[in-house]
Each structure stands twice: as structure tokens, then as C-alpha cells.
Chain A
Amino acid sequence: MHIPDAFMPIPQGIIYWAIALVFIALSLRWVRQEMDETKVPLVAILAAGIFVIQAFNLPVALGTSGHLVGGALAAIVLGSPFAAVFILSLVLIVQGVIFGDGGITTMGVNILNMGVIGGFVGYYSYHGLLAATRRVNLSAFAAGWLACVIPALAAVVELWIAGTFPLNLGLVAMGLYHALIGIIEGGITVVALRLIASVRPDIVNISNEVTA
């Protein structure tokens, strides 16, 4: 889902950068206010894990592969969508500048899609579903799936505005492929959430959430 420079005119990229910078500033305020020293190791490991697992493409059928994006996972584990914005921004900057994965002028739109939209959709859908169903696995899976599919559909609209994708075909293709890739996203979100909650229950306490 990393949009390259070639897919978007520079002025449009600058507009998305401006929007992304607002959310990056808010995520840094989250770091200052909410990220105490006990959370730093977990944030570091989440960032490293999301960075590397984004390089691990798994086949999903229809001649396509996909990987975890991680916005929902970061937001759920750390209890804020701004945590996802913070982590995904750093991951996307390193990927774009050093490894050429995603563009420079399009880094803002990539942060907006995967960090902001992915993080907010993941966080609020998880807590909404958890309140309704009281089932952690179902809520985390659905949140991961939605945090993959909705940013993908947002990317289509942005690339339609950019004149790169036709809207209808883009929505059908991106929607179809990311509905499949979202199964990976949902599955890894559940497994990683369970794993992290088992090793750091002081930070991620699933049982409290279910019984609250």
C-alpha cells in the first residue's frame, strides 16, 4: 500500500504532507504526555516488528501478495490511535528514505493512509466491537481487517484525484485484494496482541478490558 512518487503529482503530495504533519505533531504530543519510560521498550519492539513484517509479503491468491500494515495493532496495544501515527510515521520515513519503499513526496499520503486512517479505524473499531461483543479475538481481527481495507479504499480515492487510477476499477481491485490481505492483517493483529498481552500484562491487559 506504499504509494510511490510516480503515482501522484508533487503539489497533491505536498497537501497530504501538510495534513500528515498535523497528525505527526499530535502524535509527538502523545509521546510527551502518555509514553512513559515503561512503554518505551514495547514501542521500540512494535516499531521494529512492524518495519520488518511489512517486508514479508505472503501470497493471498489472485496473483497478489500482502503484508501486515500494523496501524490497528499499534493503536490497540498502546491504547491510542496517535501511537499508530507515531510508529507508522517513523517506519514509513525509514522505509522511504533508506529502502525506497514508498515515495518521498507521497510519504505524507502514506502516513495519512496507514498511520492516521489505519490507526483511528483500528482503535475505534476494536473498542466499539469489544463493547458490543466482549470478544477480544473477534474485535481485534475485525479491527485489523478494517484498518487494512479502509486505508486501501482511501488510497484509491487519492489516486483517482491524482489521475492515476479510475475510481470504479480502482475501488473494485483494491477492495478485492485488500479484503484478502486484511485476513493476514486481522490474523497477525490477534496473534501479536495475545503474545504482547502475555509478556507485558502490565501494559496490555486484555482480561480487564473484557470484564470491565
Chain B
Amino acid sequence: MDSRRLVAAGIVLAILIAIGAVYLASPAPDGLESTALVVQGDKTLTGDTPPDAEVREDVAGRFTFESLLPDYSLGDAWGKPGEILALSGGILLMVLLIYGISRLMARPAK
């Protein structure tokens, strides 16, 4: 497969994964969050996660930062289509970043 087709196919596949992520991803906490909940006493090691369990992140003296699009979302008004757009924007940004850096740094093909 030539490079142009590879990039196009890869972007399409990534956007399909983004759609799957928005509609099909598990709402359960990931491994680090589950461990934090176990440490907090809000979850047992092998049990299900209670629906109202939340990882405590309000620790005094720690750095706080408000990201541009928290939780891969454009906000409640945009709903799930906004999440697909946010993820798709991230996909295109990754491709542009790699091409930009490679244009500056990568060597020409032999």
C-alpha cells in the first residue's frame, strides 16, 4: 500500500475507532482509577465499582489545570457527536504533529 493510501486508510480506521470509543467504551474506571478507589475504601479488590464512586483529586498543594476539551468532549451541548469531533480533531492533530516534526527532523529517504 502506498503512503498516501496508508495515511488515508489509517485516519478512516482511527475515526471508526473514535466512534466506537464514544458509543461502546466501558464506563468502568481504568486500572489506576480502580486501584485508587480500592485504596480509598470505595471499592473492593474483586468487586464491581459502585456507580457513585469517584476518585478523590482535591488534594491541597497539588497543581491544577483546566484543559481545553476535558474528557474528550466539546461540552454537554454537543453530546456524543461532540466527543467524536473532539477525538477526530485529536487524530488529525497527531498526524499533523508527526508530519511537522518529521519535516523538521527526519532525513530524506535513501
Which A residues have a C-beta under 8 Å from some C-beta of B?
1-10, 13, 28, 31-33, 35-45, 47-49, 51-53, 55-59, 62-67, 90-91, 94-101, 103-105, 152, 155-156, 164-166, 169-170, 172-174, 176-178, 181, 199-200
Are the CB atoms of B105 and A37 closer together than 8 Å?
Answer: no
Interface residue from A8, A65, A101 paired with B29 (Cβ < 8 Å):
A65
Assuming the contacts A5-B64, A44-B99, asked whether A63 and B107 have C-beta atoms less than 8 A apart, the reply is: no
Interface residue from B4, B38, B86, B91 paired with A48 (Cβ < 8 Å):
B91
- CB-contacts of B69-98 with A (<8 A): 69-72, 86-87, 90-95, 97-98
Are the CB atoms of B31 and A64 closer together than 8 Å?
Answer: yes
Enumerate chain B residues within 8 angstroms of A53, measured Cβ to Cβ.
17, 21
14 further A-B pairs in the complex, CB-CB below 8 A; given A44-B99, A62-B45, A90-B97: A6-B59, A7-B36, A9-B61, A36-B107, A48-B11, A49-B14, A51-B94, A63-B43, A94-B93, A95-B90, A105-B62, A170-B35, A181-B30, A200-B1
Are the CB atoms of B69 and A44 closer together than 8 Å?
Answer: no
Interface residue from B21, B72, B94, B102 paired with A101 (Cβ < 8 Å):
B72
Are the CB atoms of B105 and A31 closer together than 8 Å?
Answer: yes
Are the CB atoms of A56 and B106 closer together than 8 Å?
Answer: no
Are the CB atoms of A57 and B28 closer together than 8 Å?
Answer: yes
- Where chain B touches its partner, the secondary structure class is helix
Are the CB atoms of A177 and B70 closer together than 8 Å?
Answer: no
Alpha-carbon gap, A45 to B99, bound state (A): 10
Interface residue from B20, B29, B55, B91 paired with A64 (Cβ < 8 Å):
B29
Are the CB atoms of B1 and A199 closer together than 8 Å?
Answer: yes
Enumerate chain B residues within 8 angstroms of A6, measured Cβ to Cβ.
56-59, 62, 64
Which B residues have a C-beta under 8 Å from some C-beta of A?
1, 3-4, 6-7, 9-11, 13-15, 17-18, 20-21, 24-32, 34-36, 38-39, 43, 45-49, 55-59, 61-72, 86-87, 90-95, 97-99, 101-102, 105-110
Are the CB atoms of A55 and B25 closer together than 8 Å?
Answer: yes
Alpha-carbon gap, A55 to B83, bound state (A): 11
Interface residue from A13, A48, A90 paired with B10 (Cβ < 8 Å):
A48
Are the CB atoms of A104 and B65 closer together than 8 Å?
Answer: yes
Alpha-carbon gap, A153 to B87, bound state (A): 29
Are the CB atoms of A9 and B69 closer together than 8 Å?
Answer: no
Are the CB atoms of A65 and B87 closer together than 8 Å?
Answer: no
Interface residue from B15, B26, B57, B59 paired with A58 (Cβ < 8 Å):
B26
Enumerate chain A residues within 8 angstroms of B24, measured Cβ to Cβ.
56
